[in-house]
Amino acid sequence: MRAVQIDRFGTPDVLDLVVAPEPEPGPGEVLIRTVATSLNPVDDKTREGAIGDGTPPLPMTLGWDLAGIVVDGGDSGLRAGERVIAMSHQLGSGRGTWADLVALPASAVAVAPQTVGLVEAATLPLPGLTAWQTLNWLAVSAGERLLIAGAAGAVGGVALQLACARGVAVDALVSRDAQVAFARGHGAEVVATDPDAFRARSYDAVFDTFGAFLTDAVADGGRYASIATQAGPVPDLSARGVRTTVNQVHEDGAGLRELAGLVDDGSLRLRVHAAFGVDRIRAAHRRFLRGGLSGKIAVTF
Ligand SMILES: NC(=O)c1ccc[n+]([C@@H]2O[C@H](COP(=O)([O-])OP(=O)(O)OC[C@H]3O[C@@H](n4cnc5c(N)ncnc54)[C@H](OP(=O)(O)O)[C@@H]3O)[C@@H](O)[C@H]2O)c1
């Protein structure tokens, strides 16, 4: 089968489409034929060698997102031919999804949303679970006020929609004027490109997707979650009674089922900026690196 691997760290030129052995699903695993995947910042950092210690050994197959068709459902209850999505924690397990066939624990897999194609569905798993799990940590509920930094990004854009669907009042920090319309159109109230535009100590919770550290904005007694691992820890705000975390996404098929339901009931809209065939994986990465995106870069198999 084909797999996108690196045998060294570097520019997109280190990405190779190689012939790799087919995985054998173990007990409790599902074998999936990949139809589409998408690029995430972690793939880029892994390829560059920016993650540091703890990456899987080289050569490694990259990729976290997966949308595909079940080949062998094992004892999972999933049937051969069923459309599924999954997130694989590639850094933790070494199981990259950028391959024709991927074996994953059944607990990481969910039936795909019915109302979108698998290319769109492939943009959901990693950003969706990150948004879902971080909002759950923040425990924001209807009537509370949430500030999202990076609200038009992949994770921020999902978090914005999920929070609005929960009845949370959301304000949004975005990077450029082109993102203002997106944030307003998806339910944000105050939308600004200036981090000083938000009232101090007025938010029950802050969801920080890029290391903005808008710590003045959170109310005393509030919650502050960052997902920007590489920006470092959130400053200690315990003197103000603010709980803080740098949240780390984990595999979660049950969370994916909830997210698929929200896609199907129209609460969550997915965005594909462009799709590339897997034979153009280097071009896909170069497009990702240029930035200015209005959705995710998908890759088809
Ligand atoms: N901890 C975890 O488990 C976890 C999980 C998923 C992702 N992450 C990390 O979280 C980060 C976001 O991921 P993502 O997939 O959402 O990336 P993304 O799609 O690039 O989103 C980041 C957003 O933040 C915006 N932004 C960046 N700098 C800004 C600034 N100074 N002011 C205002 N907006 C700014 C970007 O704007 P532009 O589009 O203009 O650049 C973009 O809209 C990445 O660093 C990723 O590695 C961590």
Q: What is the mean pLDDT of residues 271-278?
A: 98
Atom of ligand 1 minimally distant from the CA of 293: 39
Choice from 155, 234, 252 to test ligand 1 binding pocket (greatest atom count within 8 A of CB): 155
CB atoms within 10 A of CB 243: 17
Distance 76 CA to ligand 1 centre (A): 34
Per-residue tokens: 300 = 């088809």
pLDDT, mean of residues 91-107: 98
* CATH 3.40.50.720 domain span(s) along the chain: 127-246
CATH for 127-246, options being 3.40.50.720, 2.60.40.1220, 3.20.20.100, 2.60.15.10: 3.40.50.720
Q: Which of 227, 245, 297 to mutate to test ligand 1, by most ligand atoms within 8 A of the CB atom?
A: 227
Span 190-246, pLDDT tens digits = 999 999 999 999 999 999 999 999 999 999 999 999 999 999 999 999 999 999 999
| Minimum CA distance residue for ligand 1 atom 30 | 175
Residue 291 Cα to ligand 1 midpoint, Å, equals 11
The answer to whether residue 52 scores a pLDDT higher than 90 is no
- The pLDDT-based confidence of 54 (bands split at 50, 70, 90) is confident
Residues with CB under 6 A from ligand 1: 40-42, 126-127, 130, 150, 152-156, 173-176, 209-210, 227-229, 247-249, 291, 293
Closest ligand 1 atom to Cα of 248: 3
Spatial CB neighbours of 112, under 8 Å, sequence gap ≥ 6? 67, 83, 84, 85, 118, 121, 260
Q: Which CATH class is domain 2-124+270-300?
A: alpha beta
Atom of ligand 1 nearest to the CA of 193: 33
Task: Measure 228 CA to ligand 1 centroid, in angstroms.
Answer: 8
Q: Report the DSSP beta bridge partners of residue 225.
A: 207, 245
Ligand 1: centre distance to CA 164 (Å): 19
- Distances in Å between the Cα of 71 and the Cα atoms of 17, 79, 83, 265 are 22, 8, 10, 28
Q: Who contacts 58 (Cβ-Cβ below 8 Å, separation ≥6)?
A: 6, 7, 8
Please say if the pLDDT value at position 14 is more than 90. Answer: yes
**Mean pLDDT rounded to a whole number for the chain:** 98
Q: Are the C-beta atoms of 157 and 175 separated by less than 8 Å?
A: no
Structure tokens belonging to residue 222 = 């509030």
Cα dihedral across residues 106, 109, 114, 116: positive or negative:
negative
Mutation to probe ligand 1, out of 42, 175, 226 (largest number of atoms < 8 A from CB): 175
Whether 47 shows a pLDDT value over 90: the answer reads: yes
Measured by CA distance, the residue closest to atom 25 of ligand 1 is 150
Neighbours of 224 (CB within 10 A): 25
User: CB–CB of 62/43 below 8 Å?
Assistant: yes
Reply yes or no on whether the pLDDT at 11 is more than 90: yes
List the end-to-end C-alpha distance of the chain, in Å, as a whole number. Answer: 11
Distance from Cα 41 to the centre of ligand 1, integer Å: 8
Average pLDDT estimate for 131-141: 98
Q: Which segments of the chain belong to CATH 3.90.180.10?
A: 2-124+270-300
* Residue at 200: amino acid letter: A
Strand partners, 275: 298
How many Å lie between the centroid of ligand 1 and the Cα of residue 79? Answer: 36
